[in-house]
Amino acid sequence: MNNLIAHTPSILQPDNDTVDAASLWDTLRANRLRIVATMLAVMLVGAAVLIVTKPVFEANILVQVEDANTLVNPNTVPGRTFDLKAAIQSEIEVIKSRRVLARTVDRMQLFIEAQPKRFPLIGDWVARHMPDELAAKLPEFGGYAWGKEQIKIGAFDVPDRLQGKRFVVTAIDSNQYRLYQDDDGIDAVGQVGVPLHVKAPDGVIDIMVDRLAARPGTQFMLKRDNAVETVDKLRKALVISERGKQSDVIGVSYEHSDPRHASAVLNALGDEYLRQNVERKAAEAEESLAFLNQKLPELKAQMEQSESRYNALRRGHGTVDLAEETKSLLQRSVELETRLSQMRQKRETLQEKYQSEHPEMLSADRQIRSLEAEVANVHAKLKALPAIEQDVFTASRDLKVNTELYTSLLASAQQLRIAGANKVASVRMLDHAVVPVKPVKPRPALILGAAALGGLLLGIGAALFRRNWSARVEDPDQIESLVGLPVSATIPHSKDLAQLQRRKDGAKLLATEAHAPQVIESLRGFRAALQYATRDSRNNIILITGPTPGVGKTFLSANFATVLASIGKRVLLIDADLRAGHLDRYYGQKGAVGLAEVVSGKLPLHQVIQHSAAENVDFLSAGSADTRAAELLGHAGFGRLLREASEHYDYVLVDTAPVLSVADALTVAEHAGSIFNVVRGGVSTKHEIEEAVRRFNVAGYAVTGVVFNDYKPRLSRYGYGMLYEGYSYT
């Protein structure tokens, strides 16, 4: 039984973290071209997205909510006088209200959508880069518009069932068009500037085309949306917020692919909002004025009654001088009574709008109770005065309170008349919308930057995935972790080998052609490992095989035999691949007699061996192809042949058929002292390597080691090019 080469770990074991980081760096360097290619590919996708994505423009307006102090003083307006200091949030809700938006939608006819028919993906990009003229018509090409084709719809009304459905308007000439809708069988011809009425299954379609600029055959996609849905869509598209904290400035922005449309919609919205604000404030002023006109006669009568009572008291008692303390108490009482009357009238107004549990009502009730408590306190002090002073105090207080109330209401009424006449709004437009020049979306720098970063991460991820999860083995380090076997030799990729294989005079040995010094040096390392292995082996017969065809075992056997012989060892190389062996390309002639004839007893061994195939190398070819390869290799004569050769040569190299293809290698393994499994980087898979080793183990044979062939180190820290380049005798 062959012995397994002991895998002795290095005395200096590097830190695992360092190894992992170095391995990661090697993987990234080795796959740098793939990573860069992936990044560039994703960036190209990002550039394509920029091309096919319509640019989006943003228009905005600024509205200031003003405190119109010139209209009215809130402290002097009882009842229904309105507070012109509107809350920002309330005004935002007004702008978003259906009342304002619906008027804007109607004015701009936003429920009508008419767009030129563009070629998918690139049509809009081509149109954006065309000059301001109509594109040349492409015959029989679907009616696509490639330039600045335009259509203006003055009116388009359809039955409810047809709302949301697409119609096709095809230009016949500059003055005629065709309206077409296949699902409902609508097909009519109209003239520009002339209303067109078309009968539909559920009603009548009314359309008015004001302008048509397109070449004959160009098509436009036309749609009439539901007005309510259009209002909701506009509300969602608007971004409304207060600019800054407590700034009383509201910003409204709107995005659209047409910059002129975006600014026009916002200006229409702002105009409608201002108009309704003026109307609302004028209506409130008129309502408050009506309320004041109703209250003024009552207050005037109360004032006159108080004046008559006060005069009667003076006539009866003459002039009564009040003490300073009483005068102060009188002034305080007048102030409290006036405020209490105003608050009660304000509560009357609030009661018409809110329930008793509303915060405004609760606040008014608290203020009224507080004022009533203060008034009661004044009345308590009043009772301590003499009777005559009490009468004078009461009369004076009533006269002053009623006079102040009447005067205040009279002034407020006059201010409201002025406000109603001037149509003053409580808001003003700070900035109207201008046509935006630069789009806000898409952002080229952001998209390309994100694409570059995403492509870089994708490339790195793909490289790591390929290293960790790829079925093909590309690094010798994977072998030990995969099957627990040492890598006895790593043969680097050689460009010279491919050139030699293409030569018409047959395959040549690298060792004899003075090519590929890195490969030869690797084979010398394999020779040293083999010498160490055979010290404990039961014989000097070496089996070289591989999991599958194409891994390079024949190349390795031929060149390794020469390297072994270069140190004076006598080597016999046997081609035991009786089915498809081709070692004779390196030694001897194609079709020469060989192993098959010896084992079958047709010829003796000494007549078949090709002596001096190379210096110190004898060669035994496979011989004629035989379908009984398994029987021949299992024949007792084959064992005798190997034992005889083992006695006369320092090394007997046996090249066999692939393990996973046929069982020939397992048959030969019975006689071998060492078994080496050749795998090829980028070709052999993990499963193939594991299965090959498993089959030897099941048969009772231990694989001595693995030879990693055709290793492409690229920029690895330990690449062979780095190790051997420039290292030579001088």
Confidence of residue 376 (pLDDT cuts 50, 70, 90): confident
Pairing of β 617-620 and β 610-614: antiparallel
Please say if the pLDDT value at position 365 is more than 90. no
Q: How distant, in Å, are the alpha carbons of 78, 285, 425, 686 from that of 417?
A: 16, 8, 14, 95
Please say if the pLDDT value at position 75 is more than 50. no
Task: Give me the pLDDT at residue 723, please.
Answer: 43
- H-helix or E-strand spanning residue 154: strand 150-157
As a whole number, mean pLDDT of residues 503-511 equals 59
Task: Give me the pLDDT at residue 201, please.
Answer: 84
- Backbone φ, ψ for residue 498 (5° rounding): -60, -35
- The residues, any chain, with a CB within 8 Å of residue 533's CB and separated by 6 or more, are 3, 5, 488, 674, 704, 705
Q: Is pLDDT larger for residue 513 or for residue 362?
A: 362
Confidence of residue 419 (pLDDT cuts 50, 70, 90): low
The predicted-structure confidence for 609-646, as pLDDT tens digits, reads as follows 888 667 888 998 888 766 678 888 888 888 999 999 99
Q: CB of 325 within 8 A of CB of 389? A: no
Q: CB of 521 within 8 A of CB of 494? A: no
- Computed on alpha carbons and rounded to an integer, the radius of gyration of the chain in Å comes to 51
Please say if the pLDDT value at position 394 is more than 70. no
Task: Give me the pLDDT at residue 79, please.
Answer: 36
Q: How distant, in Å, are the alpha carbons of 78, 307, 403, 414, 728 from that of 410?
A: 11, 18, 10, 6, 115
Q: CB of 543 within 8 A of CB of 655? A: no
- The residues, any chain, with a CB within 8 Å of residue 389's CB and separated by 6 or more, are 320, 322, 323, 326
Most distant CA pair in the chain, distance: 167
Task: Give me the pLDDT at residue 32, please.
Answer: 87
Task: Give me the pLDDT at residue 126, please.
Answer: 82
Tokens 């060149």 correspond to 559
Two structure tokens written together for 562: 């020469």
Q: What are the residues facing 306 on neighbouring strands?
A: none
Please say if the pLDDT value at position 411 is more than 60. yes
The CATH class given to the 56-108+235-441 domain equals alpha beta
Instruction: Indicate the CATH number for domain 473-724.
Output: 3.40.50.300
Task: Give me the pLDDT at residue 269, please.
Answer: 95
| Best-predicted range by mean pLDDT (196-205, 224-233, 593-602) | 224-233
The amino acid that residue 546 corresponds to is: G
Q: What is the DSSP letter of 26?
A: H
Report the mean per-residue pLDDT for the chain. 80
Fold agreement between 56-108+235-441 and 473-724: no
Q: Rounded to an integer, what distance in angstroms lies between the CA atom of residue 151 and that of residue 178?
A: 13
Q: Nearest CA to 657 among 681, 692, 698, 687? A: 692
The b-or-e profile of 322-361 (16+ CB within 10 A means b, else e) is: eeeebeebbebbbbbbbbbbbbbbbbebbeeeeeeeeeeb
Q: Nearest CA to 704 among 719, 690, 693? A: 693
112-116 sheet: strands from edge to edge? 112-116, 219-224, 166-171, 176-181, 186-191
- The residues, any chain, with a CB within 8 Å of residue 355's CB and separated by 6 or more, are 361
Q: Please provide the DSSP assignment of 204-244 as one string.
A: EEEEEEEEEE--TT-EEEEEE--HHHHHHHHHHH-EEEESS
Q: Is pLDDT larger for residue 702 or for residue 352?
A: 702
Tokens 């919609």 correspond to 265
Angle at 215 between CA 213 and CA 219, to 5 degrees: 85
Query: How many other C-beta atoms are found inside a 10 Å radius of the C-beta of residue 494?
Result: 20
pTM of the model: 0.59
The b-or-e profile of 272-305 (16+ CB within 10 A means b, else e) is: bbeebbbebbbebbeebbebbeebbeebeebbee
Q: CB of 584 within 8 A of CB of 621? A: yes
469 CB burial (10 A radius; 0-12, 13-18, 19+): exposed
Q: Rounded to an integer, what distance in angstroms lies between the CA atom of residue 654 and that of residue 2?
A: 14
651-655 sheet: strands from edge to edge? 487-492, 705-711, 674-680, 541-545, 651-655, 571-575, 617-620, 610-614
The predicted-structure confidence for 220-276, as pLDDT tens digits, reads as follows 999 999 999 999 999 999 999 988 777 789 999 999 999 999 999 999 999 999 998
The b-or-e profile of 85-99 (16+ CB within 10 A means b, else e) is: ebebeebbebbeeee
- Range with lowest mean pLDDT among 152-161, 394-403, 696-705: 394-403
| Best-predicted range by mean pLDDT (78-92, 99-113, 354-368, 396-410) | 99-113
As a whole number, mean pLDDT of residues 340-367 equals 80
Q: How distant, in Å, are the alpha carbons of 245, 558, 618 from that of 612?
A: 98, 14, 6
Percent of the chain predicted with pLDDT > 70: 74
The b-or-e profile of 682-711 (16+ CB within 10 A means b, else e) is: ebbebebbeebbebbeeeebbbbbbbbbbb
Please say if the pLDDT value at position 85 is more than 50. no
Q: Rounded to an integer, what distance in angstroms lies between the CA atom of residue 360 and that of residue 535?
A: 104
Two structure tokens written together for 161: 């069932």
The predicted-structure confidence for 468-490, as pLDDT tens digits, reads as follows 676 778 778 878 878 888 888 88
Q: Is pLDDT larger for residue 231 or for residue 318?
A: 231
Q: Where are the beta strands (DSSP E) in 621-719?
A: 651-655, 674-680, 705-711
- Backbone φ, ψ for residue 416 (5° rounding): -70, -35
Please say if the pLDDT value at position 511 is more than 90. no
Q: Is pLDDT larger for residue 650 or for residue 17?
A: 650
Q: CB of 72 within 8 A of CB of 81? A: yes
Task: Give me the pLDDT at residue 72, please.
Answer: 41
Confidence of residue 395 (pLDDT cuts 50, 70, 90): low
Please say if the pLDDT value at position 65 is more than 90. no
Q: How distant, in Å, are the alpha carbons of 218, 367, 593, 628, 664 from that of 601?
A: 90, 128, 12, 14, 20
Q: Rounded to an integer, what distance in angstroms lies between the CA atom of residue 550 and that of residue 600?
A: 29
Q: Is 423 left (phi over 0), alpha (psi -120 to 50) or beta?
A: left
Please say if the pLDDT value at position 3 is more than 60. no
- Range with lowest mean pLDDT among 55-69, 268-282, 588-602: 588-602
As a whole number, mean pLDDT of residues 424-440 equals 88
Q: CB of 616 within 8 A of CB of 568? A: yes
Q: Nearest CA to 621 among 662, 659, 660, 580? A: 580
196-200 sheet: strands from edge to edge? 150-157, 203-213, 196-200
Please say if the pLDDT value at position 335 is more than 70. yes
- For the chain, give every domain's residue range: 31-53+442-468, 56-108+235-441, 112-224, 473-724
Confidence of residue 728 (pLDDT cuts 50, 70, 90): very low
Task: Give me the pLDDT at residue 139, please.
Answer: 54
As a whole number, mean pLDDT of residues 136-144 equals 67
Angle at 87 between CA 84 and CA 90, to 5 degrees: 110
Q: Nearest CA to 190 among 204, 205, 207? A: 207
Q: Is pLDDT larger for residue 301 or for residue 325?
A: 301
249-256 sheet: strands from edge to edge? 239-242, 249-256, 57-65, 427-431
The predicted-structure confidence for 555-593, as pLDDT tens digits, reads as follows 889 889 999 998 989 999 999 888 888 888 877 566 678
Task: Give me the pLDDT at residue 239, please.
Answer: 95
Q: What are the residues facing 263 on neighbouring strands?
A: none
